[in-house]
């Protein structure tokens, strides 16, 4: 079979959850399947984390029009040229006008549910709108939907009124480097100057509950003896975003206790989790 896999963002330097799921899945397929022919379709990027093999070809594809143009025009165009038996789209969305047999990994449908609060990020607002428009149109066309838990499977089936055999769940795996690290100090000291810290990994999306986490931390600092306070290490958030939360909630006094190095590479995370007093 000829199998195309959309893995648009796996070459970007700052990868996130869905990128790693796609990347690690492809790496495992590469190890075990020597019979089918694979085409991995990606955007150009600086982190060339996947190599071609005899039956796995990488197609780098640029596009105008951002994510929408890449997926709805360029991806659809290259699929028409490749003529695969199956196209697997790995990150919730897919080309609307594509006649190839389609499999979609739908990680969740939060974008179809009511928001708990307003998202202040224009980028994430546009992403939410895009998914709300695309997903209901591609789901009826898909031969199979994959999601990541039985809970989410039932949730998707109920909301989108899907047949029982249309959707299956496959738990996310994890890379072998994710285990408890005894020698974690050398790594976490790059990001925070203490052995006593709490770790928070979030982003600007309201569903990550970032603002309330920081407010809760401020309440903790107020109630704790100064000599016993655990500092807060926050990954994936820019300092100006954190400063805005501190100002809006009048809790600037906790700024000296916060370390915010922005993006932390995936390979460093096991050491940071291992060293944290809580996360």
264 and 191 in contact (C-beta within 8 Å)? yes
User: What are the beta bridge partners of residue 53?
Assistant: 56
Share of the chain above pLDDT 70, in %: 97
Q: Which residue has the higher pLDDT, 116 or 83?
A: 83
Cross-strand partners of 102: 87
- pLDDT higher than threshold 90 for residue 66: no
Q: What does each C-alpha distance from 108 to 23, 93, 169 come to in angstroms?
A: 18, 11, 11
Which pLDDT band, with edges at 50, 70 and 90, does 117 fall under? Answer: low
Which pLDDT does position 91 carry in this prediction? 94
Q: Which pLDDT does position 265 carry in this prediction?
A: 92
Taking the C-alpha atoms of residue 218 and residue 241, their distance in angstroms, rounded to an integer, is 16
- Give the domains, in start order, of the chain with CATH numbers: 2-169 (3.40.50.2000), 185-275 (3.40.50.2000)
For tokens 């998707």, the residue is 156
pLDDT digits (tens, 9 = 90+) for 219-238: 999 999 999 999 999 998 99
Name the pLDDT band for 156 (thresholds 50, 70, 90).
Answer: very high
pLDDT at 88 over 90: yes
Q: What is the DSSP code (8-state) at residue 53?
A: B
Tokens encoding 173: 């795996």
At residue 177, does pLDDT exceed 90? no
Assigned token pair, 57: 């070809």
């Amino acid at each position: 079979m000829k199998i195309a896999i959309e893995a648009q963002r796996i070459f970007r330097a700052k990868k996130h959850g869905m990128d790693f799921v796609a990347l690690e899945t492809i790496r495992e397929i590469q190890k075990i399947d020597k019979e089918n022919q694979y085409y991995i379709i990606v955007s150009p990027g600086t982190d060339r984390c996947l190599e071609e093999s005899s039956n796995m070809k990488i197609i780098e594809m640029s596009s105008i029009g951002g994510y929408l143009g890449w997926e709805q025009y360029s991806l659809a165009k290259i699929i028409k040229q490749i003529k695969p038996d199956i196209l697997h789209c790995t990150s919730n969305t897919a080309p609307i006008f594509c006649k190839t047999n389609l499999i979609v990994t739908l990680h969740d449908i939060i974008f179809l549910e009511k928001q708990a609060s307003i998202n202040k990020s224009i980028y994430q607002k546009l992403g939410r709108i895009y998914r709300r428009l695309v997903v209901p149109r591609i789901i009826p066309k898909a031969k199979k939907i994959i999601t990541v838990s039985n809970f989410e499977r039932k949730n998707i089936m109920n909301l989108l009124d899907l047949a029982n055999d249309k959707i299956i769940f496959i738990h996310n795996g994890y890379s072998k480097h994710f285990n408890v690290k005894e020698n974690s100090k050398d790594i976490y000291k790059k990001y925070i100057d203490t052995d006593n810290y709490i770790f928070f990994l979030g982003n600007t999306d309201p569903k990550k509950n970032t603002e309330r986490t920081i407010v809760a931390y401020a309440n903790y600092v107020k109630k704790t003896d100064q000599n016993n306070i655990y500092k807060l290490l926050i990954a994936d958030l820019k300092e100006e975003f954190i400063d805005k939360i501190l100002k809006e909630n009048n809790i600037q006094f906790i700024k000296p206790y916060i370390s915010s190095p922005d993006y932390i590479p995936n390979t460093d995370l096991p050491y940071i989790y291992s060293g944290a007093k809580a996360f």
